[in-house]
Amino acid sequence: MAVELPGTFMQRMKDMLGSDYEQFADSYQETPYGGIRANTLKISVEALRALSPFTLEPIPWCPSGFYTEAGARPGKHPYYHAGLYYIQEPSAMAPVELLGVQPGDRVLDLCAAPGGKSTQIAAKLQGEGLLVSNDLHPDRTKALAKNLELYGVRNGIVLNESPGRIAAAFPAFFDRILIDAPCSGEGMFRKDEDMVKQWEPETPLKYAAMQREILASAAEALRPGGTLVYSTCTFAVEENEGMIREFLNSHPEFSLIPVGGTGSFAPGLDGLREAARLWPHKVKGEGHFMAVLRHDGSGASAEEGAVYPAHGGRDKALSVSSRNKGGKAQASAKAAAARADGGRGVKPGRTAGKSGGAAPGRQSQGMGEEAALAAYAIFAEEQLGWQPSGYPVLFGDHVYLSPLPKAALDGLKTIRPGWYVGHIRSGRFIPGHPLATALHPAESTRCLSLSSSSGEGVSYLKGETLSITADRLSVKPGSPSKGYVLVCIDGYSAGWGKWQDGMLKNEYPAGWRWT
């Protein structure tokens, strides 16, 4: 069905595109393209192509992205529930590819919900370094947190904060920052008719004021020499080239890295050819704008910050102030790190000790912090046979492993301080669903693989109890068959079950179940 577009918008696009306008207008008669992106935290691109029940066509600008055939329903397959791929609009995969993320980087996704680009960043980090995913809207952070959990992200933190408060908390800290900015959404008109209904001629200027503040805050949070990618899904020059030109004029320490004019990317407009645009009449995707900004390295100080062990990666300087509840700086980063836990995470082969300092939120109601973390460490030793790295953080009775000392998050609205591993109940540790989804089969003492095609996989995802004989379990030598089992779909982790006497009690969360 053709999309009826505002006359004012179409006249502006005619002035902007000239001879390309008719082709642009005709593209709105076409059906939007669908896409999925392989979650390489769990599966390789090659393995997904071999397993996929859908016909897949590579997306030129994203090595892990594929177009799906018309009529495909990738959200209705067990592989989706196992987190093997993320359903994402093809053009939306481009900005993260330009960010140049490397394992070990500290990355901030400043406007992250619902989490597509954050999961893409996490896949590039491969469990090393740090990902902070933020969104200003509380309701949207729920979907953001769930997506990071579904896709097995171990080194991510989810915040619900203003960009300004994040910059104050983490000055000159991040190696790379992505701003997928709130915008007038003109590039999504073909895909989302609600965007058309909400658009008015003054909408771009309204969003431009917001984008200006976000860019300024991001500049403060980026380390000297770091990279910032700014993207929108709109055509308006005021929100795109005009915003970048204004930013560069007020931030001479930044320069624009050339992107546009090659392959699928068209150059930016208004003389800013180094930026890039994706046009719906030129590529198989919706409208997008991208600009890559690089800090020149001025202002770097080797003495600032305390050193903390990055989650699974290289040591990094922690330039973070400890904050009181009012958000004001009150101590040095070294003091904050010392109060957190002296740099100790849950180390392999050791029981978690008292982390020191007050845990965020209320304390565990059933037992002390030291006993609660010890219960978790005992479970990890028995069920996993190893101790995942990270700073242990207790929120009430819930246990997280954070890539940052917990004092680094003091005063910030934190939705997830790290990898949620489980909770304490009656003195015992109960593993959480996100612990399972981030594990590989070899990382669990007991494992069971269900077939996606036999019906058992779907039955498990529906929350049903299954009859499973002991010989179907994969159990590490010397361990009993009875206990928690990592349940997999075709060999890829999906959740927990509890096996005893031929029956698998289903531990798949009610809110996640197949409907």
- Positions marked catalytic: 233
Burial class of residue 65 in the structure, from the number of CB atoms within 10 Å of its CB (0-12 exposed, 13-18 middle, 19+ buried): buried
Q: Using the 8-state DSSP alphabet, how is residue 54 labeled?
A: S
What is the rounded CA–CA span in Å between residue 415 and residue 398? 12
Q: What's the CA gap between 311 and 508, in Å, rounded?
A: 27
Q: Which amino acid is at 195?
A: M
Q: Which of 492, 476, 389 is nearest to 437 (CA)?
A: 492
Report strand pairing: 34-38 vs 62-68: antiparallel
Residue 172 CA to residue 170 CA, distance in Å, equals 6
Q: How far apart are CA 287 and CA 279, in angstroms?
A: 5
Q: What is the 3-state secondary structure (H, E, C) of 336-377?
A: HHHHHHCCCCCCCCCCCCCCCCCCCCCCCCCCCHHHHHHHHH
Separation in Å, CA 184 to CA 106, 167, 201, 240, 308? 29, 25, 10, 11, 40
Distance in Å from the first CA to the final CA of the chain: 29
For 213-365, where are the E strands, in sequence order?
222-232, 254-257, 266-267, 276-278, 288-295, 306-309, 315-318, 322-323, 329-331
Sign of the alpha-carbon torsion through 416, 418, 424, 430: positive
Residue pair 435/380 in contact by the 8 Å Cβ criterion: no
The b/e string for 305-331 (b: 16+ C-beta within 10 A; e otherwise) is bbebbbbbbeebbbbbbbbeeebebee
Residue type, 271: G
- 181-196 burial, b at 16+ Cβ within 10 Å, e below that, comes to bbbbbbbbbbbbeebb
Query: Sign of torsion, CA 132 348 427 506?
Result: positive
| Residues 358, 335: Cα–Cα separation, whole Å | 14
Q: For Cα atoms 98, 87, 462, give the angle at the middle one, nearest 5 degrees.
A: 145
